[in-house]
């Protein structure tokens, strides 16, 4: 892992990993209907049984569940919350999972 400051690493990661590619890899139901907000099936943050409350933004990577309230601004925030990681550990996980230096 490089010694870049965390905010620079975060910018590089978000530039390298497109939100659609990221969400397609972690959510079985991610599909691209528009460049903005898309319904993404079942929420991975609670025991969701009915699709329709979890949305992802394919332009920014933001996510929002209107049922449980889980939300974040990008794929890094999703990785943090979904894996219960710190910001720096989420960066490390994304770098490792996506083969980034």
Helix (H) or strand (E) holding 54: strand 54-57
**Residue 3's pLDDT band (cuts 50, 70, 90):** low
Share of the chain above pLDDT 90, in %: 71
Which of 51, 33, 34, 35 has its CA nearest to residue 43? 51
Give the residue-averaged pLDDT of 5-16. Answer: 92
Give the residue-averaged pLDDT of 7-25. Answer: 93
| Fold type of domain 6-98 | DNA Primase; Chain A (3.90.580)
71-72 sheet: strands from edge to edge: 37-39, 54-57, 63-65, 71-72
Q: Enter the pTM of the model.
A: 0.89
- CA angle, 99 then 11 then 42, to 5°: 70
Q: Work out the widest C-alpha separation in the chain, in whole angstroms.
A: 43
* Whole-number pLDDT of residue 73: 98
Residues 56-90: pLDDT tens digits? 999 999 999 999 999 999 999 999 999 999 999 99
Give the residue-averaged pLDDT of 21-36. Answer: 80
């Amino acid at each position: 892992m490089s010694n870049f400051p965390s905010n620079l690493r975060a910018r590089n990661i978000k530039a390298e990993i497109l939100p659609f590619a990221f969400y397609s890899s972690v959510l079985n139901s991610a599909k691209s209907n528009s460049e903005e907000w898309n319904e993404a099936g079942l929420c991975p943050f609670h025991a969701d049984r009915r699709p329709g409350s979890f949305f992802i933004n394919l332009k920014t990577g933001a996510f929002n569940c209107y049922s449980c309230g889980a939300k974040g601004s990008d794929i890094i925030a999703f990785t943090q919350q979904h894996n219960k990681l710190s910001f720096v550990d989420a960066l490390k996980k994304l770098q490792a999972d996506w083969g980034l230096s």
